[in-house]
Structures are given as C-alpha cells and as structure tokens.
Amino acid sequence: MKYTFCPTCGTKLTQHLAGDDGLVPFSPSCDRFWFPTFSDCIIVLVANEENEIVLAKMPYLSEKYSSLISGYMQVGETAEQATSREIKEELGVSKVHNLHYAGTYWFNKTETLMHGFIGYIKKQDLILSTELESAKWIPVADVPKYLFPESPDNAAFAVYRRFLEEIKAVH
C-alpha cells in the first residue's frame, strides 16, 4: 500500500528525501515517513518419505488447480511459526521435520511477500480444515499436472523447483 494521507493524523503527505531511499511520503505534522507497506504470507511444500507432496485445493482460488499450503502471517509471528501453524491448521499435522527456508517471492497481484519453505512429515492421513476443499499426496513427478500454470508470479512452482534441486542433490 502506498500512502497518500498520514494514517495517524490524516494530513496529506508530502514527498521528503529519506537518504538512499529517495523521496518518500512524509507527514510534517507527525514528523514521520510512511514507507509503502505490504502483506507477508508463507507458502510451504510439504513432502513425505516417499517423495510425495501435499497439494491442496482452495475453492476460493480455483476449481481446476491445486496449490501448496499457504497463509498470511499474523502480527508478532515469525515466518517459521506461521508455517508450522498453517500446516497444523490446514492439514492437522503438528510434527514437521526439517522445515527450512526456500526463498522469498513477490506476488504482484496482491502486493504480498511470500516466504517459501520446504518441510517433511511422515506420510499420514490428513485432517483438513474447512478452508480446503481437498488435499492429497501427489508423486513428485506428477505435481506440474495439478499446480497453477508456471508463471513469474507462481511461487508454488519456484518452491517446487527448489525441492527438485534438493532431491537431485541427495540422489
């Protein structure tokens, strides 16, 4: 979000030089810069010991395509905490092994910074939240058939490619 008015006092913001950041919206009344803000969310590829990946279908996103597990971060929460919370909420799984960072990805449509992760769980039945229409284990080679088509904005494909690099390095 780019600010035009000060969220604190309502004064129209002016452009003011902020060091190396150049001109930034500034409230002379509050003596404060208002840098653009954006949402943060997580996206996590959940895999098992059989090289299968959980793909979930969220009806509000698409009737055709599936995605990785994702969700918005809550205030005061780290990306790792949000990832563990989302896995537990959406899949009913509380024990994640080897959760590790897989990069950041910008989603321009919603101005969201996506924090990518890869995590492993033992293959098990999934207990789905009401947010998901379905979720199932998909063999790693079949995943591209189900994901949204690859595009620069598709963080799921970027995390999936990262996972493929990791499993190639192991074998």
The secondary structure of the chain as a DSSP string is: ---SB-TTT-PBPEEEE-GGG-EEEEETTTTEE-----EEEEEEEEE-TTSEEEEEE-TTT-SS-BB-EEEEPPTT--HHHHHHHHHHHHH-----EEEEEEEEEEEGGGTEEEEEEEEE---------TT-SEEEEEEGGGGGGTBPPP-TT-HHHHHHHHHHHHHHHH-
pLDDT in tens, 52-111: 999 999 877 777 788 999 999 999 999 999 999 999 999 999 899 999 999 999 998 889
Q: Which residue has the higher pLDDT, 171 or 124?
A: 124
Q: Where are the domains of the chain?
A: 1-37, 39-170
Residue 154 backbone dihedrals phi, psi, to 5 degrees: -90, 90
Average confidence (pLDDT) over 6-15: 97
Handedness of CA 102, 145, 122, 91 (dihedral sign): positive
Residue 171, pLDDT score: 63
Instruction: Tell whether domain 39-170 is in CATH 3.40.50.800.
Output: no
pTM for this model (two decimals): 0.89
Residue 100, pLDDT score: 96
Q: How far apart are CA 128 and CA 12, in angstroms?
A: 46
Average confidence (pLDDT) over 139-163: 92
